[in-house]
Structure 1
Amino acid sequence: MTDTASTAEQPEAPAPDPNAVQVTINGVPHTARKGQLVIEAAADAGEYVPRFCYHERMAPVGKCRMCLVEADSGRGPAVTVSCMVQVAPDMKINTESPTVKRMQEGVLELLLANHPLDCPVCDKGGECPLQDQAFSHGPGESRFVEEKRHYEKPIPISELVFLDRERCILCDRCTRFASEVAGDPLIHFTSRGNNTQINTFPDEPFASYFSGNTVQICPVGALTAKPYRFKARPWDLEETESTCTSCAVGCRTVVQSSRDELLRYQGVDNDAVNWGWLCDKGRFGFESTNSESRLQAPAVRDGDGFASTTWNDALDRAAALIKSAVAAGGASSVGIIGGARGTNEDAYAWARLAHDVIGTPNVYAHLADALRSEILDLPRATINEAASATTIVLLAPDLKEELPVLYLRLRDAAEKKRSRIIEFTARRSGLSKYAWKSIVSRPGDEAEAVRQALTDPEIAAQIGRGNVVVVAGKANLAALGTLQTDAVLKVLEAWPGAKVLPAYRRGNVVGAIQVGMSPGPGGNSTAKILADAAAGTVKCLVLVGVDLVSDFPDAQTVESALSSGVSVIAVDTFLSPTAQRAHVVLAAAAAGEKSGTVTNIEGRVQTVAQKINVAGTSRPDWMIATELASRLGTDLGFTSVDSVTEAIAASVPAYAGITPAALRDARDGLLAVPAPTGTLQQSGQQAPPASGYDYRVLVSRELYDLGVNNQMSPSLAGLARGMRIHMNPVDLERVGVPAGGSVRITTERGSRVLTVHPDSGLARWTVWMPFNQPGGGVNDLISASGIVADARIETV
């Protein structure tokens, strides 16, 4: 072969990457990215540059001056702050020169001049960047012999966070997080010069849903968390990575324990989901797992109370109740409600028990607090797709209250101008002030508001600019949700390429539905199952981790069902108000006590890990369902949690290939999204006439409420704001009641006197009330089956 032919066969060299920047770091060539900070390029090259103020998820400020390096861009070496300078072509970077080391020693000496040497009693001791860098980069001794600065210590700046000002090094991490990430600028610098310190505004606590993040990112022990203070040392802790199940966002966490007790949750920087952030409910809610009120063993009714019993006896009695119901009324006389609290494996085992063993269609993981499960069959968006969409259409509840970390992601998208938010709401939400358009309308008028908005040339042009994601969820617990669903479908009809991110709240409700805890097309809703129980058609209810009495938005239907003579089997971690009405109570393992997988709102399957032993003799749900099936004559074949995961992968099409082995190699999880079906159609319904009731009722959740897990976490139990009613100031003036006065609200279901507050962000002729709050739940005033709910407001 000739040389010419040989040359011709050589592949063409790839085109140079326009974003590549060639630099030298400590004498070693390295390819950095255009626009990359020097501190980031050094990290990619394996060279650690010490830092205190820099955080990869926040804008750099260059305050601590610890990340000094020598950089030469062609004019000779100069000391520069590596978190503030971007790489340049042919830049020579030295992170270890004598000049740099000498200056870093000086920075540390000055930081330690007034810093208390109380490492043996500081909660940060053993995991403190200041402590570590004092050893690795410090001078080794101090020339400062004068009295150090002293402040009152510690001071509580919120119900969850303590501040020790003596330890603060003014790195600006907490203040930047509060204002830049959380949008809660409630902690800031006060005074000037040598007296500069971190504090809150006078008489205004650090009342942020995300305050625990400031504790995690604080590089010293200035901020400490009440639930963890003086509980353990880092070297006493054992840890494993898991997934938070406080809501359905699916934040990745590190679960830490000592002596078989959960002690701390820390956020993991997962680029696909939570970016390292956690809400305080997810961070501190683990306390419920440690509660002394946990069910330790199964129990059976004994007169007006309960008697502990063996698992064999409890399961035999539960099986007998199911058999009796089937014998009296057929398979459909059994209803199984719940499953969103547990893992995919738990839900799959209960679904198999319902569909394959008993044969009942009456199974649902929804508690009438989310849009129909057919929403999951629409084209699904990921969280990253939503946070990078040109247009985000919000037809959902207040995400700050129900899906807090999703709120952070979408707020970041709007603040950084990546996305424009178009919000349709009856009451201004946490995202309203970041929305490009916030369209306020009465509950039930959402579809009409969308129809009118679609005729606006400005909105039409915005949506036509790029990709659209609709965040869809049930914004009103006092309504059936069909009109909200119709509004979502109108958006998809106008822009067929739009995707949907379902704003479902309960921890694993998406996973539970996708693996079988749903009745299928045309099946009964939870409200219908309960109505059938009240009518005597359903004779046995199996309640899997649900508290219907407190948490179902229709107290009348629940009471009618539970008072009808129906047999009740409760599978729970606590003796909740609903479990107290049961005939058999089966003690279930809680979060942190079992392994498996969960599926978040985008369909991302992630692992959860067992960190401590179960309370008493409680068992994971999948095991309870398997043993109950055995007593009903069917062997489900599950011998371990992995065997259930394998069965899901083999039988649920969306989960094909999502095996334990595959998940071990997928740190960010794997997506399990069913193929879109397009079967969901607009209902064509409209809100009925008010019939003498002037005001439309809006009911939604707040982050802290009377939920069992919330109330069994001592640090969170007192944070619920209490029952009240909000009205637009114009409506309040018309009624003639001052702010803070009392009004009587009357609906078709009942009447109550409540304290009223003005709310200018609320639609006119609308009243808002929070769900499941101290001072009386609102669920006795509303129905789970009405298209909307209307009320009359009277002075008292």
Structure 2
Amino acid sequence: MTVTAKPTTGSGGGGELAQREDLVTLTIDDVEVSVPKGTLVIRAAELIGVAIPRFCDHPLLDPVGACRQCLVEVPDAGNGRGIPKPQASCTLEVAAGMVVKTQVTSPVADKAQHGNMEFLLVNHPLDCPICDKGGECPLQNQSMSNGYGESRFTDVKRTYPKPVAISPNVLLDRERCVLCARCTRFSEQVAGDPFISLIERGALQQVGIYEREPFQSYFSGNTIQICPVGALTSAEYRFRSRPFDLVSTPSVGEHDACGSAIRVDHRRGRVMRRLAGDDPEVNEEWITDKDRFAFAYGRGDDRLTRPLVREDGVLRPASWPEALDAAVDGLLAAGAGSHGHRIGVLTGGRLTLEDAYAYSKFARGVLGTNTIDFRSRPHSAEEADFLAAVVAGSGRGVTYGDLETASSVLLVSLEPEEEAGAIFLRLRKAWRRRGLVSATLAPYLTRGAAKAGSTLVPTVPGAEAAWLDGWSSATGVPLDSGSVILVGERAAALSGTLSAVLRLAERTGARLAWVPRRAGDRGAVEAGCLPTLLPGGRPVADPSARVDVASTWGIGSLPRAEGGDGDEMLVGAAQGALAALVVGGVDPNDLADPAAAVDGLERVGFVVSLETRASLVTERADVVLPVSLMAERSGTFVDWEGRRRPFPVVLDAPNAMSDLRVLAALADAMGRPLGFRSPAAALAELDELGPWDGSPAPVPAFGAGAAATGHGDQLVLATWRLHLDDSRALAGEPYLAATARPPVARVSPRTATSLGVRPGPDGTTGIDAVLTNDRGDLTLPLVVEPGMVDGVVWVPARSAGLAVSENLALLPGDLVQVGVESRPRRQAPDTPTQEAEATA
């Protein structure tokens, strides 16, 4: 029997022949197998169905040969390829003519594996019934299949105080550790956060941390999942459930646009934990801590479970028929169906593709308005045209795989570690494996950009367009047809940047991809949740596009005039121009000026809110219609690639309806049915429409504009959201929230000098920066950042009690007054208890 493993065929001519020449033939357990040169023996054995026991081995980590459980025999076959002693198959590369005998055919290998298992269990506690890993533990399984039935060890086992909090989120039981180094290798190689390592030697060797630098990583939960024993556990899940009590459902992460595959484990109608799914084309086997741990946001007292209707100025519970009737009366009174612009629809980023399509059809076909927008965030006039030309109806474009093979990558208004974790991991992987050349336009080189090997192009916010129009290879990052440009949604807040990105891509031939921050944004573009865009990228202004959609929907006509965007809705509401507003999943605090947004909501004649939890919108709504959480609905997210990521219902909640189902009921009550009631039917209709085959309108040539210049104590503001911040998604998850990086204000050394601040060796100052304008102020610890562009101050967009939008109502590129003040010294505690309280 011969098994041949062919490597992936390359795109160049003659690639298959060349790769066949790289194949190496060897014999494993009397089976001849041909594999690519450089393949490890443990992988070659898997091809013939032989599972060699292992703990330290992981296909996405560099081999280390730490646990010694995968020992095999390599006898001499008369060709000089024999090795006298058993070898670790996870570090041994194949060789032509090699003969390998695993535990299946070799008593030597079998005895070696049994002996090593006995050695591992010498100090390992036999507490499987109470261990979190019990029931899904490789050590437990392999001790039965490749170990002795009884222990010969009679002395006292080694113990340690437990657990050790490696971080607020990750706990370590050192006596369970088998020193496989999976956690340390993941942290150093994949995430780039080497804050845990193996310390001591011999019998005292253990996983340790540096007390002054806790394990601070956005990907720390992956170490729990890949730990082959119960050494690393989650602070939230610890001792909460048993694996065999859980029901597992595949799903998709809803916290960013990466479309990461996850596995949701639930019991008795409650999600207990989430794990990374295995999807080599998307997130491989890794997810962010937010995707892993942030799932309790719907368990609080603010969860909406019944419809609410405003009566005498107060919201009161109502039945579904009563709430739907009240919504219908208010919308009809506002002119629903009259093809005007007195009704607006404002959606957020939590919607699935099917939900977004329902909102789009509800706006045009039921309410008769093109005033619909998913961008409940700052945006510029050029963005809708950019999205129509580059994103809508384009299908799958740049992929994760393209990032690994790109000749170079340029990041514009995007910090992948903060905003798109799976993209960050791919960029870092490409840099480590083949030295990917990348550059980032930013005011300073962030920790994430440095870990991905990016070169900083120091840019004052607002000057991005000028940099892009003048781009040259002098930056050290040449762009060509093999390059990729990733532009984040933050570019929409900087006028001219998106147009400049498009011009640069056309000039260099580089491929361009738009990376939104929220999971539902790409799907909203495809579904037509824009005032100028119909489903599939069809322009509202094109008569044939309107006829195409109207005929598929079975209605007479669609509103002709382009509608107003999200900002115009709220401004129009404040001026009394908007009679009614339908809002789905929008947090006013995401807008540039939340106070103005709330004021606009209060001035709208009639507000219908579809929401999961009480919010600033529901407090001001006339009718509140509760909708289901992500785990309670099925649907599809469209990730930044344009790849559809479907997911099923996880929790059966009969009383919870998705946005689509609520809108269908509302349309029925108005006598204008949507024509579908399920995600599958909505997706089928959207696919029937298909992408627009006409030409999109050209993107207007927005100029670079004049960037503000900081001087003295007037500095240019730079800001973006961090991965973990003051987000409603983190509600109910204190352990995860405790791992958020502390908020600081950053300035360059020269700017610090101009402010009269002298930094310490580590960049800290002991001084607070105070940002002020006529709206309010922000006070944060000041840190001096080497290499940062001068005249700029960077602060996180949202942290606990500190929000740029709420406190200052400023956008990146605006000028802000910056002062400094000495930080009050804490009084020395008198007792250890006081010291602990002060530290906490």
Structure-1-length-normalised TM-score: 0.90
Residue 329 of structure 1, CA deviation:
8.8
Partner of 1:527: 567
1:46 aligns with 2:55: no
Residue 688 of structure 1, CA deviation:
6.0
Q: Against the structure 1 CA distance between its residues 752 and 597, is the aligned structure 2 distance closer, same or farther, given a 3 Å change threshold?
A: closer
> Is contact 1:395–1:424 with CA below 8 Å preserved after alignment?
yes
1:281-320 matches, cutoff 5 A: 281-302=290-311, 305-320=314-329
> What is the identity, as a one-letter code, of the residue corresponding to 1:35?
G
Match of 2:116 among 107, 114, 117: 107
> Is contact 2:771–2:777 with CA below 8 Å preserved after alignment?
yes
Residue 632 of structure 1, CA deviation:
2.1
Q: Against the structure 1 CA distance between its residues 740 and 270, is the aligned structure 2 distance closer, same or farther, given a 3 Å change threshold?
A: same
> What is the identity, as a one-letter code, of the residue corresponding to 1:454?
S
> What is the identity, as a one-letter code, of the residue corresponding to 1:463?
L
Partner of 2:818: 793
1:75 aligns with 2:80: yes
Partner of 2:784: 758
Q: Against the structure 1 CA distance between its residues 184 and 321, is the aligned structure 2 distance closer, same or farther, given a 3 Å change threshold?
A: same
Match of 1:574 among 591, 599, 613: 613
1:277-676 matches, cutoff 5 A: 277-302=286-311, 305-326=314-335, 331-369=340-378, 372-376=383-387, 377-378=389-390, 380-429=397-446, 430-454=448-472, 456=474, 458-459=476-477, 462-464=478-480, 467-475=482-490, 480-495=493-508, 497-520=509-532, 523-548=563-588, 550-614=589-653, 617-653=655-691
The 1-side partners of 2:806 and 2:307 are apart by 30
1:679 aligns with 2:682: no
* Corresponding residue SS for 2:258: coil
> Is contact 1:483–1:787 with CA below 8 Å preserved after alignment?
no
**1:421-468 Cα deviation digits (max 9, x unpaired):** 022112322113543531111101112223444162854xx334x601
Higher mean alpha-carbon deviation, 621-630 vs 637-646, is at 637-646
The 1-side partners of 2:695 and 2:72 are apart by 53
**1:74-121 Cα deviation digits (max 9, x unpaired):** 326433211112222233222121000000001100000000011011
> Is contact 1:445–1:483 with CA below 8 Å preserved after alignment?
no
Match of 1:66 among 60, 64, 69: 69
> Is contact 1:482–1:787 with CA below 8 Å preserved after alignment?
no
The 1-side partners of 2:426 and 2:222 are apart by 15
Partner of 1:734: 754
Higher mean alpha-carbon deviation, 556-565 vs 382-391, is at 556-565
> What is the identity, as a one-letter code, of the residue corresponding to 2:815?
D
Residue 248 of structure 1, CA deviation:
0.5
Higher mean alpha-carbon deviation, 263-272 vs 731-740, is at 731-740
Partner of 1:657: none
**1:7-65 Cα deviation digits (max 9, x unpaired):** xxxxxxx9692233333222223232222111111112211111100000111101111
Q: Against the structure 1 CA distance between its residues 756 and 318, is the aligned structure 2 distance closer, same or farther, given a 3 Å change threshold?
A: farther
- Give ranges in structure 2 of 5+ residues lacking alignment: 1-15, 534-561, 759-764, 822-840
> What is the identity, as a one-letter code, of the residue corresponding to 1:82?
S
> Is contact 2:398–2:641 with CA below 8 Å preserved after alignment?
yes
**1:581-607 Cα deviation digits (max 9, x unpaired):** 222211111111111111000001011
Residue 272 of structure 1, CA deviation:
1.1
> What is the identity, as a one-letter code, of the residue corresponding to 1:484?
T
Residue 557 of structure 1, CA deviation:
2.9
1:172-251 matches, cutoff 5 A: 172-251=181-260
The 1-side partners of 2:224 and 2:379 are apart by 33
1:775 aligns with 2:815: no
Q: Against the structure 1 CA distance between its residues 718 and 326, is the aligned structure 2 distance closer, same or farther, given a 3 Å change threshold?
A: farther
How well do the aligned residues superpose, as a CA RMSD in angstroms? Answer: 2.6
The 1-side partners of 2:453 and 2:124 are apart by 43
* Corresponding residue SS for 1:756: strand
> Is contact 2:708–2:813 with CA below 8 Å preserved after alignment?
no
> What is the identity, as a one-letter code, of the residue corresponding to 2:701?
Q
* Corresponding residue SS for 2:573: helix
Q: Against the structure 1 CA distance between its residues 781 and 686, is the aligned structure 2 distance closer, same or farther, given a 3 Å change threshold?
A: farther
Residue 391 of structure 1, CA deviation:
0.4
The 2-side partners of 1:595 and 1:91 are apart by 51
1:86 aligns with 2:93: yes
The 2-side partners of 1:631 and 1:208 are apart by 50
> What is the identity, as a one-letter code, of the residue corresponding to 1:447?
A
The 1-side partners of 2:600 and 2:47 are apart by 61
The 1-side partners of 2:56 and 2:748 are apart by 43
**1:292-320 Cα deviation digits (max 9, x unpaired):** 54211222235565322111111222222
**1:377-415 Cα deviation digits (max 9, x unpaired):** 337311211232010011132211111121111111112
Higher mean alpha-carbon deviation, 240-249 vs 639-648, is at 639-648
Higher mean alpha-carbon deviation, 16-25 vs 274-283, is at 16-25
Residue 749 of structure 1, CA deviation:
4.7
* Corresponding residue SS for 1:326: coil
Partner of 2:548: none
The 2-side partners of 1:530 and 1:162 are apart by 47
> Is contact 2:484–2:510 with CA below 8 Å preserved after alignment?
yes
The 1-side partners of 2:70 and 2:528 are apart by 53
Q: Against the structure 1 CA distance between its residues 130 and 676, is the aligned structure 2 distance closer, same or farther, given a 3 Å change threshold?
A: farther
Partner of 2:171: 162
> Is contact 1:53–1:61 with CA below 8 Å preserved after alignment?
yes
The 1-side partners of 2:363 and 2:638 are apart by 21
The 2-side partners of 1:457 and 1:593 are apart by 49
* Corresponding residue SS for 2:67: coil
The 1-side partners of 2:336 and 2:80 are apart by 90
> What is the identity, as a one-letter code, of the residue corresponding to 2:819?
E
Residue 690 of structure 1, CA deviation:
6.3
Q: Against the structure 1 CA distance between its residues 691 and 618, is the aligned structure 2 distance closer, same or farther, given a 3 Å change threshold?
A: same
> Is contact 1:687–1:787 with CA below 8 Å preserved after alignment?
no
> Is contact 2:606–2:622 with CA below 8 Å preserved after alignment?
yes
Residue 137 of structure 1, CA deviation:
0.3
* Corresponding residue SS for 1:46: coil
> What is the identity, as a one-letter code, of the residue corresponding to 2:422?
V
* Corresponding residue SS for 2:296: helix
The 1-side partners of 2:21 and 2:694 are apart by 37
Match of 2:37 among 30, 34, 37: 34
Higher mean alpha-carbon deviation, 16-25 vs 56-65, is at 16-25
The 2-side partners of 1:787 and 1:51 are apart by 51
The 1-side partners of 2:531 and 2:327 are apart by 22
* Corresponding residue SS for 1:133: helix
**1:638-667 Cα deviation digits (max 9, x unpaired):** 13322122112212328xxxxxxxxxxxxx
Q: Against the structure 1 CA distance between its residues 240 and 370, is the aligned structure 2 distance closer, same or farther, given a 3 Å change threshold?
A: farther
The 2-side partners of 1:150 and 1:719 are apart by 28
Partner of 1:5: none
